[in-house]
Chains A and B, each alone.
Chain A
Amino acid sequence: MPEWFVINWPFVEWLSPSLLLILGGLLLPIFRGVVQKVFLLVVPTLALLAVLGTAAGTHASVQFLNMELILGRADSLSLVFAHVFAIMALVGAIYALHVHDAIQHMAGLIYAGSAMGVVFAGDLITLYVFWELMMLSSVWLIWRNRRAASLAAGFRYLMVHAVSGVLLLAGIVVYYAQVGSLSFNVIETGTPAFWLILLGFMINAAVPPLHAWLTDAYPEATVTGAVFLCAFTTKTAVYTLMRGFPETEILIWLGALMTLWGVTYAVLANNIRRLLAYHIVSQVGFMVAGIGLGTAMALNGSAAHAFTHILYKALLFMSAGAIIHMTGRAKLTELGGLYRAMPLTFLFYMIAAFSISAFPLTSGFVSKSMILEAYADHQAALVWLMLSLASAGTFLSVGLKLPWFAFLGRDTGLRPREAPTNMLLAMGIAAFFCIFIGVYPQWLYQLLPHQPVGYNAYTPGHVFWDLQLLSFVGLVFFLLLNFLAPKDRITLDTDWFYRVAAPRAVRFIHQRGTVAWRSLLAALRWPLRRIVSQAMRYHGPRGILARTWPTGSMVLWVAVLLTISLLLYYI
C-alpha cells in the first residue's frame, strides 16, 4: 500500500478495522431513519480506509491472562483477504440500504467485522473468539427472513457451526498442551490437534460431506443477508486453511471432490440461490485444491481466486436477490422472460456469470487459471482434468441454465420493475471489479502473498483452451435444452442424515429402548412378586393365618383337648 497513507493515529493501534466494524454495528441501533443509513455507509467506508492504511506488521497485541493476544497481524496474506472483505462490507451495506431492519444491519456489520477479525488474528484464542462471533452474528441474517423455513434452517446452521467451534476449541486446547504456544502459523501435521483444527476449518469451508449447512441455509436467508453470507464464512475458512494447512495432501482430493460435487448438484437445483450456493462449494473447492498443492503459484492462485470469487459471487447473489425482491419468486420453474423488465440486473448477472465461468477479460479467468496452471506445472493430470470438468459445469449452470430459464426462455408474464437504485449501484460496483481485475490483473497480483507473481493468464494457449471449452459447453446446452429444463423438485444432500435419518434413528431407538427397558424391569421384579404373592397367600387379609376365628369354636377345641388329655390320663 502507498506509504503516504499509513495511519498512525494513537487510537488506530487498537481500533483495528474489525473492531471498527463491530463497534459500528453495536452503535447502529442508536440512530434512526436517514442518520442510520448514513451511519451504515460510513462505518464500512472507514473500515475500508483503515485497511488501505494498514501497514504490514503486528499491531494491537494485548496481554490477557498470561497470554499474548494479537488482534492485528497484518502481512501480505491477511491483507489480501482484508482488502476484499472491506470492499465487500461496503458493497453489502449499499445493497442493504433500503432495508428497514436495524437487526439485519447490525448483524451484517458485526459479521463482516468478525470475519476480518479472524483474518487479522495472530493467535488461536483471538481467532476462536471471532470465529464464534461470526456464527452468532450471521445466523440473524437467516432468521430475519422471518419464515418458518428460515428459522429452522437457521437453527441447523447454528448447530453445525457450533460443532465446528467445539472442534476448533478442542484442537486449540490440545495444541496448547502440546506446543505450549498459541500463535497461529502452519500447524504440524499428523497430531491430534492438527486433525481437530483441520476438521473445524473444513466445516466452515463447506468441504463435503460437511458442506450441507451452506446449501441448506443460504437460500433461506434474507435477500440482503445472503450477500454477506456468501462472502465471509467460507472465505475466512479458506484463509485459515491457507495459513495453517498449506500442502496438506488430503485437501487436494477434497478440493477436487468439492468442485465436482457442487457443479453436479447445481445441475439439479431449481431454487436460484440454492443453485448459486452449490457453486460456492464448487468454487471454494478450487481454492482448497490450490491450498492442498501448496506451491507459491497455487497459494497465490487460491488467494486471488478467493478475492475474485467474493466479488463475482456476491454479484450473482445480488442479482438473484434482486429477482426475488422484485418478483417474490425464487424457483426457476416459476421464472422466465425477465430480461425486458430487469435489463440492468440481467447485464450485471451476466458479467458475474462470465466471471465465475472464467471468460477471458473477466476476473475469474485471471485467478482460476492460476490454480490450473499450478497443477499443470506439477503435471497432476487427474486433478487438472477434474478441475477443468468442474469449470465446464460452472458455465453450464451459472452461465447458461440460470440466465436462460430466469431472464430469457418462456415468458411467464412477470413484469416487475427494475431493482431499487441502491441495489443496482452495489451490483455496478461489484461488476466494475469483475471487469477491472480481468482487464488489469496486475492490480490484484501485486496484493498476493508470494511475490513476484510472474504469471500471465493471457497466453494464446489459455485463451484458446478456455474459449473452446466454454463455447462447446454452450453448444451442448442448447442441443439438450429440453432435457435440461428445471424440475419442481428438491434434492437430498448430506443434510438428510441429520434432518431425517438421525431423528428417525432416535425415534426408533427410543421406541425399541422403551420396550426393552420395560421388559427388563418386569423380569427383575418377577422374584419379588413371587415372594409377595406367597406371603399374601398365607398372611394376607384372606390368608389362612390371618383369618378371624369365632370364640365358640375356641371353647369347643379347648373342650376337645381337655377330653383327650383326660382320656390319656386314664389309659
Chain B
Amino acid sequence: MLVKLLDLLVHNASRLKGALLVAMAALIIADLLIPTGYDRFVWESWGGFGALFGALACLTLIGLAKGLGFGLVYRRDDYYEEELEPYRALDESSDQRNRTDT
C-alpha cells in the first residue's frame, strides 16, 4: 500500500511540483499579510524574508562547500589506502567467512 502511495506521488511529480510551488507562494503571501509579532531583529517584520534567506543560505553553502571541495579537500577514493596495508589479512579472512556463510 505504501509502495502504491509512493508510486502515485512519483508518477505525479509534475503536479506535485505545481502544488508545492503554489503552496510556497501562498506561504509568502500569508507571511506578508499576517504580522509575526516579533521585533527582536529587523528582518522579523519583513514578510517573506525567510524564503529569501533560505534560498541565499542554500546557495551560499553550496558555493562554500564546492569551493572548499574542489579547492582543497577533495581526494581520490583510495587516498588513505596505504595505511591499511598492515591490516589487509583481516579483509581477506572476513571475505572468506562471508563466502562460507552464504
Cβ contact within 8 Å between A393 and B94:
no
Cβ contact within 8 Å between B74 and A489:
yes
The yes or no answer to A207 lying at the interface (CB within 8 A) is no
Closest chain B CB from A13 CB (angstroms): 45
CB contacts under 8 Å to A, within B22-50, are 23-24, 27-28, 30-31, 34, 36-38, 40-41, 44, 48-50
Give A333's nearest chain B residue, CB to CB.
Answer: B77
The yes or no answer to A151 lying at the interface (CB within 8 A) is yes
Give B7's nearest chain A residue, CB to CB.
Answer: A340
In the complex, which residues of chain B have a beta carbon less than 8 angstroms from the beta carbon of A340? 3, 6-7
The yes or no answer to A66 lying at the interface (CB within 8 A) is no
A340-B7, A460-B37 known; A490 vs B75 contact (CB < 8 Å): yes
In the complex, which residues of chain B have a beta carbon less than 8 angstroms from the beta carbon of A377? 40
| Contact among B27, B60, B73 with A492 in the assembled complex (CB-CB below 8 Å) | B73
The yes or no answer to A264 lying at the interface (CB within 8 A) is yes
Cβ contact within 8 Å between B50 and A381:
no
Cβ contact within 8 Å between A460 and B69:
no
Closest chain A CB from B60 CB (angstroms): 7
The yes or no answer to B18 lying at the interface (CB within 8 A) is no
CB contacts under 8 Å to B, within A394-409, are 396, 408
What are the 8 closest A-B residue pairs judged by CB atoms, nearest first?
A468-B50, A461-B36, A472-B54, A267-B65, A148-B87, A392-B57, A469-B54, A476-B58
In the complex, which residues of chain A have a beta carbon less than 8 angstroms from the beta carbon of B90? 146-148, 151
In the complex, which residues of chain A have a beta carbon less than 8 angstroms from the beta carbon of B73? 268, 491-493
Closest chain B CB from A46 CB (angstroms): 33
Give B3's nearest chain A residue, CB to CB.
Answer: A343
Give B67's nearest chain A residue, CB to CB.
Answer: A264
Given A376-B38, A392-B57, 14 extra CB contacts under 8 A:
A147-B91, A148-B88, A151-B87, A152-B83, A340-B6, A384-B41, A392-B58, A460-B36, A468-B54, A473-B57, A473-B58, A475-B55, A489-B76, A491-B69
Cβ contact within 8 Å between A408 and B10:
yes
Cβ contact within 8 Å between B69 and A268:
yes
Cβ contact within 8 Å between B75 and A459:
no
In the complex, which residues of chain B have a beta carbon less than 8 angstroms from the beta carbon of A173? none
Cβ contact within 8 Å between A489 and B83:
no
Give A467's nearest chain B residue, CB to CB.
Answer: B27
Quick check: which of A164-172, A295-303, A479-487 contacts chain B, the rest being far away? A479-487
A264-B68, A379-B41, A489-B75 known; A469 vs B10 contact (CB < 8 Å): no
Cβ contact within 8 Å between A264 and B64:
yes
| Residues of B in contact with A (beta carbons under 8 Å apart) | 2-3, 6-7, 10, 20, 23-24, 27-28, 30-31, 34, 36-38, 40-41, 44, 48-55, 57-62, 64-66, 68-69, 72-77, 79-80, 83-84, 87-88, 90-91, 93-94
Cβ contact within 8 Å between B50 and A464:
yes
In the complex, which residues of chain B have a beta carbon less than 8 angstroms from the beta carbon of A488? 77
In the complex, which residues of chain B have a beta carbon less than 8 angstroms from the beta carbon of A483? 62, 66
A379-B41, A392-B54, A471-B27 known; A460 vs B34 contact (CB < 8 Å): yes
Closest chain B CB from A472 CB (angstroms): 3
Q: How far is the CA of A406 from the CA of B68 in the complex (A)?
A: 24
Give A346's nearest chain B residue, CB to CB.
Answer: B6
Q: How far is the CA of A151 from the CA of B84 in the complex (A)?
A: 9
CB contacts under 8 Å to B, within A119-161, are 146-149, 151-152
Q: How far is the CA of A468 from the CA of B6 in the complex (A)?
A: 25
Cβ contact within 8 Å between A393 and B57:
yes
23 residue pairs bridging A and B, Cβ less than 8 Å apart: A146-B93, A147-B91, A151-B90, A265-B65, A267-B62, A346-B6, A376-B41, A389-B60, A392-B53, A392-B54, A393-B57, A396-B58, A396-B61, A408-B10, A468-B31, A471-B24, A473-B55, A475-B24, A476-B59, A483-B66, A489-B76, A491-B75, A499-B83
Give B30's nearest chain A residue, CB to CB.
Answer: A464
Q: How far is the CA of A516 from the CA of B37 in the complex (A)?
A: 73
Q: How far is the CA of A379 from the CA of B83 in the complex (A)?
A: 49
In the complex, which residues of chain B have a beta carbon less than 8 angstroms from the beta carbon of A344? 2
In the complex, which residues of chain A have a beta carbon less than 8 angstroms from the beta carbon of B38? 376, 461
In the complex, which residues of chain A have a beta carbon less than 8 angstroms from the beta carbon of B65? 264-265, 267-268
| Contact among B34, B40, B62, B84 with A148 in the assembled complex (CB-CB below 8 Å) | B84
Question: Can you list, as one digit per residue, whether each of A408-440 has a CB less than 8 Å from chain B (1) or not (0)?
Answer: 100000000000000000000000000000000
In the complex, which residues of chain B have a beta carbon less than 8 angstroms from the beta carbon of A469? 50-51, 53-54, 57
Q: How far is the CA of A384 from the CA of B23 in the complex (A)?
A: 27
Closest chain B CB from A347 CB (angstroms): 6
In the complex, which residues of chain A have a beta carbon less than 8 angstroms from the beta carbon of B64? 264
In the complex, which residues of chain A have a beta carbon less than 8 angstroms from the beta carbon of B69? 267-268, 487, 489, 491
Cβ contact within 8 Å between B44 and A492:
no
In the complex, which residues of chain B have a beta carbon less than 8 angstroms from the beta carbon of A473? 54-55, 57-58
The yes or no answer to A45 lying at the interface (CB within 8 A) is no
Cβ contact within 8 Å between B61 and A388:
no
A408-B10, A491-B73 known; A464 vs B84 contact (CB < 8 Å): no
Q: How far is the CA of A347 from the CA of B10 in the complex (A)?
A: 14
The yes or no answer to A247 lying at the interface (CB within 8 A) is no
Q: How far is the CA of A500 from the CA of B73 in the complex (A)?
A: 13
Q: How far is the CA of A133 from the CA of B26 in the complex (A)?
A: 54
In the complex, which residues of chain B have a beta carbon less than 8 angstroms from the beta carbon of A468? 24, 27-28, 31, 48-51, 53-54
Question: Can you list, as one digit per residue, whether each of A317-353 has a CB less than 8 Å from chain B (1) or not (0)?
Answer: 0000000000000000000000110011011000000
Closest chain A CB from B49 CB (angstroms): 8
